[in-house]
Amino acid sequence: MIEENKNDMPTINWFPGHMAKARRLIQDNLKLVDVVVELLDARIPLSSANPMLADLIVDKPHMIALNKADLADQIATKEWIHYFNQKNIPAVAIDSMTGKGMKLLLKTIDELAKEKVNKLVSKGVNARSARVMILGIPNVGKSSLINRLAGAAIAKTADKPGVTRAKQWIKIGKNLDLLDTPGVLWPKFEDMQVGLKLAFTGAINDEVYDMEKVMNIFLETMIQYYPERLIERYKLQSDLLKNSSEVLQAIARKRGCLLKGGIIDEEKARRIILNEFRNGKLGLITLDRINSI
């Protein structure tokens, strides 16, 4: 659902009923696991972090996996890993589609779980596999990660957010039991920019927000941080990068997004730009920056 605020900034509020159910499911099952892996989108590490999770997992060993690192600015990703490490939260960059970073991810999970497992053994309990829960907002790549770790398409995947619904345990090798749970998204975005960045990356269904206003802001962001990517991808003249409207029209002409009478099909152009960003065709881009915290 989109609301308008005083600054004409599109406000995105989206909290389907299954999200509330997912939170209860996580609360009920946290006691079963030894380690929590929070999966974030490497392009928006801050915006894809769910504020509710910090309260939920406060007493559990916790690490962060920055997924889709193959689509993110590598320098920015290293800065984010350093940022989380400074907060004593282990963080690794991964790509669940290619398997990059999986060994380091599993090694870090194992190290975090050792204390709990060893404590059980000291009490006379037979050694068992480490139990892990992966948490993340919809469409951050949880199902793809689980499939990669399991080596088979066990978890259901889709391009649209919110596909995973029910709890399931998945055996990963000999030493890891993985508890999958639905992604959780918070009920209200206190920072409007957070909602917008989630819309950019596809964490929110495209049907629930105003594409025109969101894409205007996306283009303004690109003009500010990555103007060279627009120039390279769409063969634009640098003097055109003055505002989002001019850039959109220039891209539309370059891509032949024209209706009868030579009228520019702006909606088609917006879809092209958004899809190319999501598919990495605009280059390696990180929209959340350390210096913005």
- Which residues contribute to the annotated binding site? 67-70, 139-144, 183
Q: What tokens does 152 get?
A: 């088979």
Give the type of residue at 32: L
3-state secondary structure of 200: helix
Q: What tokens does 90 get?
A: 């282990």
Minimal CA–CA distance to 22: which of 209, 199, 179?
179
Q: What tokens does 277 get?
A: 């960003």
Whether the Cβ atoms of residue 9 and residue 47 lie closer than 8 Å to each other: no
- Residues annotated within the binding site for GTP are 67-70, 139-144, 183
* Distance between CA atoms of residues 222 and 67, nearest Å: 21
256 phi-psi bin (left φ>0, alpha ψ -120 to 50, beta other): left
Angle of the 266-278 helix axis to the 244-254 helix axis, nearest 10: 90
Q: What tokens does 156 get?
A: 């259901």
* Distance between CA atoms of residues 92 and 73, nearest Å: 15
Residue with tokens 């590490």: 45
What is the bridge-based pairing of β-strands 176-180 and 168-172? antiparallel
